[in-house]
């Protein structure tokens, strides 16, 4: 059960524009211990040949996030490696969000 303060924060956060919600989500996730190992400059991490993305799968596996979450992290890492090798193409976020908006109405 959420406290009244948490409910108010959630309500306020959900009323923010999408970009501000995304930034807030990033900041909140970055404050958690399991993301503490992410480099200060995410660009440096994303330019490596074998990225751990934002998360470290080994740390997140098992009890921390469970099998489903660990599988999604592994999938994201595999997709990123394929992208870096030219086997996948990127799609601009604006196009992805426009398509999501269209599909979700």
Q: Kindly report, residue by residue over 59-82, the tens digit of the pLDDT.
A: 444 444 566 677 788 888 898 999
pLDDT of 11 over the 80 cut: yes
Q: Could you tell me the residue range of the domain that residue 48 belongs to?
A: 39-104
Co-location of 64 and 14 in the same domain = no
Q: Look up tokens 């997709």; give the residue.
A: 79
The count of structural domains within the chain is: 2
Task: Determine the Cα–Cα distance for residues 55 and 80; give it in Å rounded to an integer.
Answer: 13
Cα–Cα distance, 29 to 45 (Å, whole number): 17
- Both 73 and 97 in one domain: the answer is yes
The pLDDT assigned to 43 comes to 46
- Flag whether the pTM goes above 0.85: no
Together in a domain, 89 and 56: yes
Does residue 2 have a pLDDT over 50? yes
């Amino acid at each position: 059960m959420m406290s009244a303060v948490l409910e108010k924060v959630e309500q306020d956060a959900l009323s923010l524009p999408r970009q501000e919600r995304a930034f807030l989500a990033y900041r909140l996730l970055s404050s958690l211990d399991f993301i503490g190992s992410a480099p200060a400059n995410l660009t440096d991490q994303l330019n490596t040949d074998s990225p751990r993305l934002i998360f470290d799968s080994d740390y997140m596996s098992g009890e921390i996030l469970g099998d489903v979450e660990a599988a999604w992290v592994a999938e994201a890492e595999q997709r990123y490696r394929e992208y870096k090798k030219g086997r996948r193409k990127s799609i601009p976020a604006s196009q992805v969000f426009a398509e999501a908006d269209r599909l979700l109405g």
